[in-house]
Structure formats: C-alpha cells, structure tokens
Structure 1
Amino acid sequence: MKSLGDSFSPGLPLRASQRFSKSPSSPLPTCLRFSLFYLSLPVRRFPADKAATSKQSLDVTGLLLLSPAFALLIYGIAQISKYGGLNSSRVVVSLVVGLALMAAFIFHALRTTKAPLLDLRLFKSRTFFASNVTVFLAGMVMNGALLLLPLYYQQVRGETVLFTGILLIPQSNDSD
C-alpha cells in the first residue's frame, strides 16, 4: 500500500517526513508533524531583535489626512447604490474629497523627514510590491463569493433574505 508521501515524490519535505510517518509508535498525527515542521522553518531564519534606541513619534498629520480619506471613500462607495450611480453630488463630493485627502497623504508620506504613518517607500521594492498585489488579488478571489453569492440568491433567484441566509449556512462551516 502506497503512503501519501509516495504520490508526491518531488516534494522534499514529504520525503523527509516519511521517515517519521512509517513509525507505528509515533504519538503525533501526520498533519500535526507537518504543521510543527513548517512552523519551525521561519523561526530558525529570523535575525535577532535589537532593542529600540528611541521612541518613534506618531505622524499626526498623516493620521489626520488618512483617516478621513478612508472614511469618505468608503462612505462615497456605499452611497453609490443608494443614489443610483455617480449622478448625486453627495456621492461625487465625498469621493473627490476622499481622493484629494488620499493624494495629500501620499504627498506628505513621501516628503516627510520623520517616520510616516504608512511608509510608502516600501513599495519601491519589487518583492514587497508583488507580494502585496498577490495577497490583494487572493483576498479578492477568496472573498468574492461572500459578496456575490448572496446577491445571486436574492437578485437572480428571487430568494428572501431569510432563505438566503439559510442557503449560506454551509459557507460558515469552519471544521476542516
């Protein structure tokens, strides 16, 4: 009988773990051994922490620019459906002011000599930028169904809100 590791022959960690999984007296299940193995990898490669020599100050200007920018952008996007598009001045004004505050924050964060609230210079690194884009796209893909499926049930199939909630109960199953 072939083990799971035999079917994944190119995987080096699986081959290494086969030595331990064939032992009948092993007290840990295979999935727990894999978890411990993969969780211990980064711990061995982290550099030692150094104590901070000075206390960083809060970028109050950045905070006063970025907080209302996000609030106005989210408010404007939420009001699009209420007013039927971008025809309402309430929607357009909140979006324009939010974008202006966001642009002002970007200008401030790139020009400040102190530590900014959000260091945008990190995005100069191709690896950092690519990893953030990847995480953003993966989040969109994984969470897209959470937004679209209830809309599909209510708009296309004509289900009630209560029945849509009942249909979505299996999505909340957290046992793997």
Structure 2
Amino acid sequence: MSELTDDFELAGVPDAFQRLWTPHRLAYIKGGQAQFNQGEEDCPFCLVPKRSDEESLIVHRGEHCYVVLNLFPYNPGHLLVCPYRHLPDYTDLSLEETAEFSALSQTAMTVLRRVSNPSGFNLGMNQGVTGGAGVAGHLHQHVVPRWGGDGNFLPIIAQTKAITQTLGEVREQVAQAWAEQPDRDAE
C-alpha cells in the first residue's frame, strides 16, 4: 500500500469553506422533485398572500405583486418579489404587472439600504427547473443584499450562510421601513 503524500490523493479536495449545520434547510432539500411541480392549489407563493403579513413574512402588498422574506435566505433581508397571479415565466406578466414588479424590486433595494446598509445586491430570477427555480411554477425575483466579505453569489447558492436575526425580526424592520418609504409617483 502506498503512503499518501499529497492532500489531493485523498477522497475530496479541502476547500476554504467553513461548514455550518443548518437543519432548517433540510425541509427545502427533502421537498424533492414534487416541490417543483406545484399547481396553484399547493403553490407556496399562491398561499402566502392568503395569510397575515406577519405569519407569511410579507413586507409589502401592491396591486399586482407583493414582497416577502425568503423562508430560506441566502443573506439577512433576502426578499422575493412575486406576482399574485400564478405565472411561470417573466414573459407571462402583463405590462402593469411588469411595471409594478420592477418598481417593487427597486424599492426593495432602497428599503434594504436604509435597514441594513448593504454594499451591493444580487437580483435575479431562475426560470424553470433547469434554470434553478425552486418553485418553477410561480415567477419570483430574488433581491439579495450583499456585504463585503460575504463571498460571491455562486458560493451563496451552493453553501449555507449564517443568519444573524430571526425572520420575524427582519420582517418587522423591513415592513416598517417600507411603510415609511415616500411614494415615488407622488414626487
């Protein structure tokens, strides 16, 4: 039997990531393929607006879209902008929905800057199961606040991050800041 002289001969290559135990993410992982094929009756983004804002973590309700905290955040303050209608694709939005979807994404960034002073953002939509959508049947846009030293976006998708506040605390802060936000159309 040969003696191992190089770490690269071992099973796996060590990396610089610190591993965090996050059992709450197992609910998402164990959802399996069925979670990607939801109809309106069992779609989480169709159920969310039927509950109270506090229970569902909604921070703002618009006419065509709403903004909710991600139940499995990549970073504290990770928001999702969702249309009320159950649509799978960005091109399915009406012009009115598209305008509000975009405006709410902009306001989300403004509000998060006031609440937590991030140094950057990742905005994005994963379209379809192959495109990485966790809930492929209902369009949603991620608004992820970023800070220096929190890594780049790829490790955030692939790894679990430590979250420093409860979702309820973050929802309260963001909802309050959103309510204090001046109406852009009134200016």
TM-score, reference length from structure 1: 0.30
Larger radius of gyration: 1
TM-score, reference length from structure 2: 0.28
Relative to its length, the structure with more helix (as a share) is 1
Higher RCO structure (Cα 8 Å, ≥6 apart) = 2
